[in-house]
Amino acid sequence: MSSASFNIISTSSSSNTATEPDVDAGTEQTRRTLLIGALATTACLGCSAASHAGEDAPGADERPQKGDLLVFSEGDQEGKVITSADLPRGGPPVHAWPKDPKTSVVRSGSRLNEILIIRLDPAELDDQTKARAVDGIIAYSAICSHAGCPVTAWVKSDVGDKEVFKCMCHNSEYDPRAGAQVVFGPAPRRLAALPLALADGSLSVAGNFIGKVGGQQPG
Ligand code: FES
């Protein structure tokens, strides 16, 4: 989804007026605007279709509920319940959806439900983060608080020597050891945190998101 956004930007800036010398600036501007609009509409239709696919099942677009299981949202193991054994200490994070254990509905009907789960050394966590963690495992919303792109990267910070969550749309960075506070970039606030529980190796949701989920402006 985020790569579609990036493609829109690069495609729209590639108009070459030198090949159409008889088109005046105003007309060219209008054409660019129409092109951007058409591409954006196409991208949004794609987002909408992906979203609606999960909305058919009741509860699929509801926020994570206490007791929900967590399943992989991507990759070879998509749909499989995540256990502590799936999370190597030190990262990288896995991307997850909540899943209602009673109905087996995966709550993928809203992109705002995607979650990042990571396991870190408990000694690295600040007190507040440690209180929400189970065995060093913590979870956050995967949606950037700037313009709502998905946070996709786990890379060394631009402002330190530790790895951080990074949103590649405008380079915002979040430190999961400190409640996912913003350490770099334009994001206005930390990622929402999701309390977890662990029983017999299986992870589950222990409560509602803490903090606002989503971006401050349309992505
Ligand atoms: S949407 Fe993430 S940094 Fe802008």
Domain span at 130: 69-205
| Any domain includes 62 | no
Place of tokens 């600036």: 25
Q: Is the dihedral angle over the CA atoms 77, 212, 162, 201 positive or is it negative? A: negative
Ligand 1 atom at minimum distance from 149 CA: 1
pLDDT, tens digit (0-9, with 9 covering 90-100), for 90-147: 999 999 999 999 999 999 999 999 999 999 999 999 999 999 899 999 999 999 999 9
Q: Is 169 in the pocket of ligand 1 (CB under 6 A)?
A: yes
pLDDT, tens digit (0-9, with 9 covering 90-100), for 143-168: 999 999 999 999 999 998 999 999 99
pLDDT, tens digit (0-9, with 9 covering 90-100), for 29-58: 434 433 433 333 333 333 333 444 445 789
The strand ranges marked E within the chain are 69-72, 94-99, 115-119, 137-141, 153-156, 163-167, 172-175, 181-184, 196-199, 202-205
| Any domain includes 164 | yes
- Whether 39 and 113 map to the same domain: the answer is no
- Whether 14 and 121 map to the same domain: the answer is no
Query: What is the distance in A from the centroid of ligand 1 to the CA of 216?
Result: 10
pLDDT, tens digit (0-9, with 9 covering 90-100), for 51-94: 444 457 899 999 999 999 999 999 999 999 999 999 999 999 99
- Whether 45 and 73 map to the same domain: the answer is no
Domain count, the chain: 2
| Any domain includes 26 | yes
Residue 217 has a pLDDT of: 59
pLDDT at 13 over 90: no
Helix ranges, the chain (H) = 2-12, 25-55, 127-132
Q: Is 187 in the pocket of ligand 1 (CB under 6 A)?
A: yes
- Whether 47 and 85 map to the same domain: the answer is no
Residue 142 has a pLDDT of: 98
- Whether 31 and 83 map to the same domain: the answer is no
Ligand 1, atom 3: nearest CA belongs to which residue? 170
Q: Is 146 in the pocket of ligand 1 (CB under 6 A)?
A: yes
pTM of the model: 0.76
Query: What is the distance in A from the centroid of ligand 1 to the CA of 84?
Result: 29
| Any domain includes 6 | yes
Q: What is the CATH number of the domain that holds 165?
A: 2.102.10.10
